[in-house]
Each structure stands twice: as C-alpha cells, then as structure tokens.
Amino acid sequence: MQETTVIISNPILLVIIGIILVALLPVWLFLGIVAIWMAVGLFVGSFVYWFILFLTGMQLLALIAGVATTIFIWIGLFR
C-alpha cells in the first residue's frame, strides 16, 4: 500500500506551509473583508433602486438604475 499523506509525513513542508499561511494572514483578512463589503454594497444599492422604481411601475428604469448603481459602487471601491 502506498502512502498519499505527503504533507503530514514531511514535517519541514508542513512548517513551511504554516509560515506562508501565517505571513499571508493579513492579506486573506483584507480580501475577505473587502469582498463582504462589496457584496453587501452591491446587493443593497441595486435592490433599493430596483425596489423603489419597480413599485412605481417603471421596470426598465428599475433595471437600468440597479445596474448603474452596481457599477458606481464598484468604481467607488476600486478608486
């Protein structure tokens, strides 16, 4: 039978992977927080415009406003 657990059987490789993951922890946290806020902003911004305009009977304008709001939020986040 052949062993396939290379990472566990090689402690040096396990230590190197651990150091890399700890060193990149701030990057992972930053990207995670940015992704969460982008998702929340995109959802809320597009939904509010769409909902208000949809209630007034302007479905096409609601769609355009939702897409425009989404684009503006992305531009604001990446500026």
Please give the pLDDT value at position 6: 52
- pLDDT greater than 80 at residue 78: no
Token reading at 21: 């993951």
Confidence grade of residue 2 (pLDDT, cut at 50, 70, 90): low
Please give the pLDDT value at position 53: 74
Instruction: For 17-66, write each residue's pLDDT tens digit.
Output: 778 877 887 877 777 777 777 777 777 777 776 777 777 877 777 777 77
